[in-house]
Amino acid sequence: MRPHNPALALGSLSGGNQQKVLLAKWLRIQPKLLLLDEPTQGVDFGARQQIFKALDGAARAGTSILCASTDNEQLEQICDRILVFARGRPVVELKGHEISRKAITEACFYSTDAEAAE
C-alpha cells in the first residue's frame, strides 16, 4: 500500500487499506501465531487477494494462522484445515483436498443437524 500522502491518519484510508496496514504491522514482527477474525470483510477483490497473498507468505515462513470466518470462499482459499463448531464444540473437521465451498456449506448444515439432535 502506497498512499499519496504517507502522513495521513490511518482512519482516513479506505477500509481495505486500513486492514492491509494493520496486517502488515503484525506480519512485520513475524509472529508465531496470528489470530484473525473475518480478515477480508468489506474489502474489494484486489485488496482481498493481496491479503491472501500476505497470509500465504506468512504461513510459508512459519506463522500459524487461526482464522474465524463465515466466508466459505475465504476459508477455501486460505485454510488447510477447517473446524466447524456447534454450541462451542467442533463437530466437523475438513482437511486438505476435502476443503471446498460446497463441503464447508454441507459441514455447516451438518452442525445444525447435530445441534438439533441434542
pLDDT tens digit sequence for 1-55: 556 666 777 777 777 778 888 888 899 999 999 999 998 888 888 888 889 999 9
| Reported pTM | 0.76
State mean pLDDT over 82-89. Answer: 88
Residue 117 has pLDDT above 60, yes or no: no
Tell me how far apart the alpha carbons of residues 85 and 80 are, in angstroms, rounded to a whole number. Answer: 17
Q: Give the per-residue pLDDT at 12.
A: 77
**Fold classification of 13-68 (topology level):** Rossmann fold (3.40.50)
Tell me how far apart the alpha carbons of residues 71 and 117 are, in angstroms, rounded to a whole number. Answer: 26
